[in-house]
RNA sequence: UGGGGUGUAGCCAAGUGGUAAGGCACAAGGUUUUGAUCCUUGCAUGCGUUGGUUCGAAUCCAGCCACCCCAGCCA
């Protein structure tokens, strides 16, 4: 086991699939490029909750390290205190642990390195590679030029080293107000790559930081801090998403313009005799899922506007939401492995995710019977008060999951959808005069349909064939099987049926003016009169079940109350019949 | 119209000069006391496109087309 190993083996995970990052690392290892080390990092900014897209990156970074006896750090990229908070730090750590990954050593923060980052900035100034600029944000935008036109040099670009040093020290000391000055790299205002047009390295922000409090009033930018943080942590492979590709020249420029000996001295490996090698950035395509919004800004918007109940609403693509929905860590890891890692923009079909969770839950979730829309059935040839205890397997293929007792009584409930007075062709369930198998029990015949004044079916009077317990009926075939629960001995529960949040494939598409117009009005349907078999509730009950013939459900711990459990539908069963 | 990328089936994706893996989805059978699971079979004479090189090209070369990213003191 290494630090980056996962908690459990994924029994269902096939062999690791080939991808360009695995190839690259194998080749780097073969060439001894980083002294045989593989050290990755997952660098979230604590400005929101992790979502399934982050899971792809987490799985990539941690598994690629584990596969090569390497290490993976967790580093909060916390250089913009304005948008960040401890709440997010805590949630992110918990999500990663829940997924089953363990970062190497202590949690890191870019803010851990603020002192080093400052000293390296002083070094860049000393080397005439950076200068203090007095242009406002607006002015600097004008000076930057455009996609097709080169920019112009800042009037401060040739400020003396001494003056730059003095100004930068005073920036740090808090002498200036926000925006009065910035520290910029001195690269090339005519570069076709706009990121190289003297990018800002430090900005003044008189604001409290969740980790460093009021110690600093200047904060480094992403481009400046990320590469140096990687170098300090001796990261070998810095994996990020495609939009940072244009930043790679800057990533390399900063590291190459710093004294490698001082970089080494500031790094975790300062005292080792390993070769000091600069980290290399490699980009891959981020995950996109259809019928889903992944933009942090949009997710936050949905939470704040109350479109969903919170970051952990079971309809959210956040890890917190998916967990509450009933997704297992293994299902998410398997999904991330199954989608691959490549450089082409792609949109993964939701069906892939649904397959991953069904695949895992089919194996691990015990079965139970729960009637969602109860219809009373009186079994005329079972005495009132009689309780027949039937033994049922918790899993049809896994005896190790044990058995449970299920009570059959005179009055039971079945689902309304399992009875039709005038069924369409192919209907295998109950009809007047027809027979159906009560799952795990007897074959039952419908003798009488009881209706109310409005003509609504309110009860069925049926009789069971007592010769059919564990046996096929004689002289006829009964195709349909129906789940049921004792009306007296079952437990009343609430069940939330979840469906996709959006009814368009891409709610973030440019031609969608407002995602609110694309919300699926049936993304949550709450049923409060469901009847669940008693064995499925209580202290020792499992948290996830397959409610037979319906789908996979999990107990909602947050909203369940004593005597009134609430279950969330994780996903339906595949249904080749379709209602 | 500058720079950086990407195009293999409905979706994801392997493939790195020797004749198109795999998964999802879908379809058809079989098993089944879950219309589930499981099993079997089918599903690209074709790799954005047009040319070229080669005995041989998804792989190499050239042109063209489409789409994505970049002008935050966000990450």
Domains and CATH numbers, chain A: 20-284 (3.40.50.620), 288-364+491-532+549-579 (1.10.1160.10), 369-489 (2.40.240.10)
Which protein residue's Cα is closest to nucleotide B1 at C1'? A148
For the residues of A47-100, what is the DSSP string, one character each? SS--BHHHHHHHHHHHHHHHTTT-EEEEEE----GGG--HHHHHHHHHHHHHHT
CA of A410 to C1' of B10 (A): 50
CA of A21 to C1' of B17 (A): 23
- Copy the structure tokens of residue A16: 């690791």
CA of A243 to C1' of B59 (A): 27
Which nucleotide is the nearest neighbour of A182, by CA and C1'? B73
User: How many alpha carbons lie under 13 Å from residue A372 in its C-beta half-sphere?
Assistant: 20
Report pLDDT digits (tens) over A308-367.
Answer: 999 999 999 999 999 999 999 999 999 999 999 999 999 999 999 999 999 999 999 999
User: How many alpha carbons lie under 13 Å from residue A37 in its C-beta half-sphere?
Assistant: 20
Report pLDDT digits (tens) over A368-417.
Answer: 999 999 999 999 999 999 999 999 999 999 999 999 999 999 999 999 99
Q: Would you say A328 and A545 are in contact if contact means Cβ atoms under 8 Å apart?
A: no
Backbone angles phi, psi at A421, to 5 degrees: -70, -40
CA of A19 to C1' of B20 (A): 18
Report pLDDT digits (tens) over A431-476.
Answer: 999 999 999 999 999 999 999 999 999 999 999 999 999 999 999 9
Report pLDDT digits (tens) over A531-546.
Answer: 999 999 988 899 999 9
Which nucleotide is the nearest neighbour of A79, by CA and C1'? B75
Q: What is the DSSP letter of A480?
A: -
Q: Which long-range contacts (CB under 8 A, 24 or more apart) does A154-161 make?
A: A154/A184, A154/A189, A154/A198, A156/A131, A156/A132, A157/A131, A157/A133, A157/A186, A157/A198, A158/A131, A159/A131, A159/A132, A161/A125, A161/A126, A161/A128
Whole-model pTM: value is 0.96
Which nucleotide is the nearest neighbour of A224, by CA and C1'? B75
CA of A92 to C1' of B63 (A): 49
Report pLDDT digits (tens) over A58-67.
Answer: 999 999 999 9
Beta-carbon contacts of A431 under 8 Å, excluding residues fewer than 6 positions away, are A419, A420, A421, A422, A423, A446
Stated as kind and residue range, the H or E segment containing A232 is helix A222-232
Which protein residue's Cα is closest to nucleotide B26 at C1'? A576
């Amino acid at each position: 086991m290494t630090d980056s190993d996962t908690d459990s083996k994924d029994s269902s995970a096939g062999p690791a699939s080939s991808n360009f990052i695995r190839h690259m690392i194998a080749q780097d290892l073969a060439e001894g490029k980083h002294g045989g080390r593989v050290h990755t990092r997952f660098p979230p900014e604590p400005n929101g909750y992790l979502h399934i897209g982050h899971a792809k990156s987490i799985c990539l970074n941690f598994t690629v390290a584990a596969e090569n006896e390497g290490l993976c750090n967790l580093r909060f990229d916390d250089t913009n205190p304005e948008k960040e908070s401890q709440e997010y730090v805590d949630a992110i750590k918990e999500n990663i642990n829940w997924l089953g990954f363990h970062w190497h050593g202590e949690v890191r923060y870019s803010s851990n390195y603020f002192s080093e980052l400052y000293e390296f900035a002083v070094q860049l100034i000393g080397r005439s590679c950076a200068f203090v600029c007095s242009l406002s944000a607006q002015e600097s935008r004008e000076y930057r030029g455009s996609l097709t036109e080169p920019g112009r040099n800042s009037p401060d670009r040739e400020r003396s080293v001494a003056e730059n040093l003095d100004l930068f020290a005073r920036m740090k000391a808090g002498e200036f107000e926000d925006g009065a000055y910035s520290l910029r790299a001195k690269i090339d205002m005519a570069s076709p790559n706009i990121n190289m047009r003297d990018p800002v390295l430090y900005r003044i922000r008189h604001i409290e930081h969740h980790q460093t409090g009021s110690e600093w009033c200047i904060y480094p930018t992403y481009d400046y801090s990320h590469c140096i943080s990687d170098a300090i942590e001796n990261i070998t492979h810095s994996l990020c998403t495609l939009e940072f590709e244009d930043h790679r020249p800057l990533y390399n420029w900063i590291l190459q313009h710093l004294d490698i000996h001082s970089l080494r001295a500031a790094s975790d490996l300062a005292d080792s005799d390993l070769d000091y090698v600069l980290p290399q950035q490699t980009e891959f395509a981020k995950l996109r899922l259809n019928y889903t919004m992944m933009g942090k800004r949009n997710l936050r918007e949905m939470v704040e506007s109350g479109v969903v109940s919170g970051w952990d609403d079971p309809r959210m693509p956040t890890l917190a939401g998916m967990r509450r929905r009933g997704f297992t860590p293994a299902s998410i890891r398997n999904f991330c492995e199954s989608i691959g890692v490549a450089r082409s923009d792609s949109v993964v079909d939701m069906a892939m995710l649904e397959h991953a969770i069904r695949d895992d839950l089919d194996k691990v979730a015990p079965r139970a019977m729960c009637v969602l829309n109860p219809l009373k059935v009186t079994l005329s040839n079972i005495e009132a008060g009689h309780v027949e205890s039937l033994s049922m397997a918790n899993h049809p293929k896994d005896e190790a999951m044990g058995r449970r007792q299920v009570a059959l009584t005179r009055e039971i409930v079945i689902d309304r959808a399992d009875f039709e007075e005038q069924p369409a062709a192919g209907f295998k369930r109950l009809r007047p005069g027809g027979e159906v198998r009560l799952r795990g029990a007897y074959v039952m015949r419908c003798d009488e349909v009881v209706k109310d004044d409005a003509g609504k079916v309110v009860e069925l009077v049926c009789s069971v064939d007592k010769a059919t317990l564990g046996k096929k009926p004689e002289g006829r075939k009964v195709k349909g099987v129906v789940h049921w629960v004792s009306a007296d001995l079952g437990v009343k529960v609430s069940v939330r049926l979840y469906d996709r949040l959006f009814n368009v494939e891409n709610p973030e598409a440019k031609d969608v003016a407002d995602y609110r117009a694309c919300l699926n009005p049936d993304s949550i349907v709450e049923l409060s009169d469901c009847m669940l078999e008693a064995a499925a509730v209580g202290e020792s009950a499992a948290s996830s079940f397959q409610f037979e013939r319906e789908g996979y459900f999990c107990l909602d711990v947050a909203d369940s109350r004593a005597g009134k459990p609430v279950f969330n539908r994780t996903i339906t069963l595949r249904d080749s019949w379709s209602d």
